[in-house]
Amino acid sequence: MSDVIRIKDLRNRVGQTVSLRGWVCTARSSGKIAFVVLRDGTGNLQCVVSKNEVGESVWEAVKALTHETSVKVTGGVREDARSPGGVELGLTELTILGLSVDFPITPKEHSTSFLFEHRHLWLRSKRQEAIMKVRHEVVQSIRDFFYERDFCLVDTPLLTAAIGEEAGTLFETEYFDLGKAYLAQTGQLYLEAAAASLGMVYCFGPTFRAEKSKTRRHLAEFWMVEPEVAWYDSDDNMRLQEDFVSYVVQRCLERRKTELEVLERDTSRLVPVEPPFPRVSYTDAIARLQDEGRSIEWGKDLGAEDETKVATWSDKPVFVFNYPKEAKAFYMKRNPDDPRTVLSNDCLAPEGYGEIIGGSQREDDHDILLSRIREENLPEDAYDWYLDLRKYGTFVHSGFGMGVERVVAWICGVPHVRETIAFPRQMHRIRP
Ligand code: 4AD
Ligand code: MG
């Protein structure tokens, strides 16, 4: 297995005879010539078979090939300008490695639920492959962005004793003799402790929310990247967000052209995503939304349709800042200029993709934080260590969380987050 040849490398082997393995996408023959298209995850390869140049048994085997059969092929690599990878293979030998009979996913239309029940096979389709590659680019660009800026990665626990965001969407499990543990809704609280050690930190991992909503933006398990920065206030935080989001989008435009073409993404909608992003206070946003006929009242979090409306105010993502404290989590810093609000922001993506980031400056005053914990009826003893951070050298700090699936959906232009993760976890879906 050591010298595995991949389709993407064939351009450097023009004139050589090679053997490689892959899966059959299509096979068709007419008269004395047959065309077999193989894929191997790195590209597609057209194999040309001419009846006169191969033995009878190879010819018969080629004619019997079916969709998704795994094969080993041998042949000469030839330049071919019309092929996607610039080369084709003059097939001389064929070995069937694994037959595929009646592959369930055919070129005809399938229902969404059928496709998700066959997610393990559906992942092989061109479109799904393209989405996974964009996701991979998004994840790598996230890592690169923070590495280049000297942030230290801190992996936070997934089993936790304290509620991170809100009590309503917790997954619970028994934890030995210690009672209930919750699957993490966020790594933030732990990250704040790490920020007091390392200054600029981030965590990146799966996050769990028992969301009973069946919207196109919600998963029960999603990946979130969360930076936390000592001495950053809310304005610094938004500047970091616009640099970050722009970096990720521009990186996909540069390196994932092919995949975005497969997805028929109108990339002209992504080109303008460069800093600075427009900023509108929550209070101003509500006034303008009301002017534009929305019925939202001051004090409520923006609904999906309100977010879509706000996003039409620019061709870039839009920051809405300083939400009412009732609409947001307990840890956000009270706004000294308007104590009804907190120093927070959401970043709303264009084209109806809605909130991709939630962020805030954190409450750094011990007594105010404690009173917020009490107001929200959170179990005080679970937060003793979190309050300690305000007792031993408290510090101005801010951070945010960006949901990977929502960003991938937006960049790919796919309507629903469930297609942007290999095996989505939703209220009514845990298999495959
Ligand atoms: O706004 P959220 O709930 O913020 C936090 O969890 C903070 N602790 C982050 C921080 O400040 N460190 O979630 C952040 C982002 C959302 O903007 C959204 O992109 C994504 O996480 N998200 C979800 N994505 C998919 N499915 C869900 N159920 C999601 N809930 C949030
Ligand atoms: Mg939020």
| pLDDT score of 167 | 81
DSSP states of 96-112:
EEE---S-S--SS---H
| pLDDT score of 34 | 98
Q: Is 417 in the pocket of ligand 1 (CB under 6 A)?
A: yes
Residue nearest to atom 28 of ligand 1 (CA): 218
Residue nearest to atom 21 of ligand 1 (CA): 403
Residue nearest to atom 24 of ligand 1 (CA): 403
Q: Which of 406, 411, 420, 429 to mutate to test the pocket of ligand 1 (most atoms within 8 A of CB)?
A: 406
Residue nearest to atom 31 of ligand 1 (CA): 403
Q: Considering every ligand atom, which ligand is closest to the CA of 401?
A: 1
CA angle 249, 255, 259 (to 5 degrees): 90
Q: How far is the centre of ligand 2, averaged over its atoms, from the C-alpha of 346 (Å)?
A: 7
| pLDDT score of 212 | 85
> Can you list the residues of the chain whose pLDDT is less than 70?
1-2
Q: Is 156 in the pocket of ligand 1 (CB under 6 A)?
A: no
Domains and CATH numbers, the chain: 7-98 (2.40.50.140), 119-420 (3.30.930.10)
Residue nearest to atom 7 of ligand 1 (CA): 401
Q: How far is the centre of ligand 2, averaged over its atoms, from the C-alpha of 393 (Å)?
A: 28
Q: How far is the centre of ligand 2, averaged over its atoms, from the C-alpha of 235 (Å)?
A: 18
- Grouping H, G, I as helix, E, B as strand and the rest as coil, residue 379 is coil
- Grouping H, G, I as helix, E, B as strand and the rest as coil, residue 128 is helix
Residue 87 pairs in a beta bridge with 79
Over residues 50-86, the pLDDT tens digits come to 999 999 999 999 999 999 999 999 999 999 998 878 9
CA distance 260 to 412: 6
Q: Considering every ligand atom, which ligand is closest to the CA of 333?
A: 1
Residue nearest to atom 2 of ligand 1 (CA): 358
Q: Considering every ligand atom, which ligand is closest to the CA of 406?
A: 1
- What count of other Cβ atoms lies within 10 Å of the Cβ of residue 240? 21
Cβ-proximal residues to 223 (8 Å cutoff; 6+ apart), any chain: 139, 204, 205, 206, 207, 403, 404, 405, 421
Contact predicate 292/254, CB 8 Å: no
pTM: 0.97
Q: How far is the centre of ligand 1, averaged over its atoms, from the C-alpha of 203 (Å)?
A: 13
Contact predicate 244/394, CB 8 Å: no
| pLDDT score of 2 | 59
Contact predicate 249/270, CB 8 Å: yes
Q: Considering every ligand atom, which ligand is closest to the CA of 348?
A: 1
Q: What are phi and psi of 226, to 5 degrees?
A: -135, 110
